[in-house]
Amino acid sequence: MHPYLRSFRATQPALPPVERIRIVAGALLGILLTTLISRWWLGDGQGLPYLVAPIGASSVLVFAAPATPLAQPWAVFGGNVVSGLAGVVCARLIPDPVMAGAGAVALAVLGMSLLRCLHPPGGAVALTAVLGGPVIHAAGFSFILAPVAANTAILITMGLAFNNLTRHRYPHVAPAQPTPTARNNAGYTIADLDQVLAHYGEQLDVDRDDLDAVFRQVEARAYQRRHGDIRCGDIRSRVPAAVGPEDTVATVRGLMADYHMRSVPVTDETGRLLGVVPPQPASVAGRQGIRRLVQPAVAALASTPVVNILPAMTAGAHEAMVVDETGRLVGMVTTADLLSALYGNEAIVLAG
C-alpha cells in the first residue's frame, strides 16, 4: 500500500478494556446528569433547548481524553462560550446564513486561539448560534449564558467528579519533574523541547510537560531494557577512604589528593553512611571540622539497577555510594564505573 494511503488507517492506540468501560460510563453518566440538571434548571426557556448538541462532542474529550489540552476546563468552557459569542455576532451582522456560518466558525477559531482555549466542539457551538433557528436567533446573546455556558459548566463539574474518582487527575497536571531546566538522562533540556515545539509550527494535542515526562520514561525504559540486569553491586568500586564527622577539612583534602576523589564519604562508628563532603574552597581553614560541611549523598542499594542512578549522575553527581540494608557503606559507583558498565563493550565513535 502506498505510504500516503496508509496514513488514512486507524492510528489511535487500542484502549485496555477497563479504560474503554470507564470512558463509556463517564460519557453515559456525564451526559445523563448534565441533561437532567439542565432540564430542571433551565426548563422550557421560551422554547430554547435546555441542552445543545455540541455538549455531546465536548463530553467525548472530557471523559475519553481528559489529559489532552483540548479537554481542560478552560478550553472546554472558554472555547464553547467564545464560539457562542462568535456565532451570535455573525448571525446578527451577516444576513446570508452560509456566509454567517463560515464566518462564525472562523471567528471562533481565531478567538479560541488568541485566548488559548482551543476546543473543537466550539465550532459546532458557533454554527448552532447561526443555524439553530428563529428561537435561538431571538435569544441573541442570552443564548451564550443559557444553555451554552450553563451546559458547559455542568459538564465540567461532571468531568471533575468522575475523572478524579476514577483516578484520572482532572484538570490534568503532568508528573512533576525535579528540576524543569535540568539536563536529564536523554541529554536535552526543557529549553530544547520548547525550541523544537516552536519550530514544529503546528498545534499539538499534547502538553509540553507531558511530552517531557514521556520522553524521560521512554529513555529510562530503553536503558532498563539494555542494561536492566546490571546492578550497582555488580559494578561498585572499593571505597578508598572515608572520614568520620569529627575529622577536619585538612584530612578530607589529603584523601582527595591521595586517592583522586571528588567527594569523601562520611560514616559513623558503625560504618553507616552519613553523607559526603565535597571539595572545599581555599578560604575554609584546614583545621575546621567537617560536621557542618556534610551534604546528602547519592546512595543506592547493591540490588539497585544502575539505570536508577543515571538521573543523579547525569545531573552532576560524581559518585553514588552503595549501602546495604542497614545503611552501611559497602562501595561506590563512579562515573567511570558507570560508563564502563553501559558502554564498555561498545565502540565509541567521535565525530570530527
- The predicted pLDDT at position 319 comes to 87
- The predicted pLDDT at position 348 comes to 43
* Closest by CA position to 296, among listed 271, 326, 319: 319
**Which one of 3.40.190.170, 3.40.50.280, 3.10.580.10, 2.60.40.10 gives the CATH number of domain 233-343?**
3.10.580.10
- The predicted pLDDT at position 82 comes to 98
What is the Cα–Cα distance from 205 to 17, expressed in whole angstroms?
Answer: 23
Residue burial 303-327, b: 16+ Cβ < 10 Å; e: rest: ebbbbbbbbbbbeebebbbbbbeeb
Residue segments in the chain with a per-residue pLDDT below the cut of 50: 178-186, 345-352
- Domain boundaries, given as residue ranges, for the chain: 13-165, 190-226, 233-343
- The predicted pLDDT at position 90 comes to 97
- The predicted pLDDT at position 89 comes to 97
* Contact status, residue 295 vs residue 277, Cβ threshold 8 Å: yes
Rama region for 127: left / alpha / beta (φ>0; ψ in -120 to 50; rest):
alpha
- The predicted pLDDT at position 101 comes to 96
Greatest CA separation for the chain: 90
Q: Tell me the whole-structure pTM to 2 decimals.
A: 0.62
What is the Cα–Cα distance from 328 to 87, expressed in whole angstroms?
Answer: 70
| Number of neighbouring beta carbons within 10 Å of residue 137 | 15
* Contact status, residue 144 vs residue 88, Cβ threshold 8 Å: yes
What is the Cα–Cα distance from 90 to 60, expressed in whole angstroms?
Answer: 27
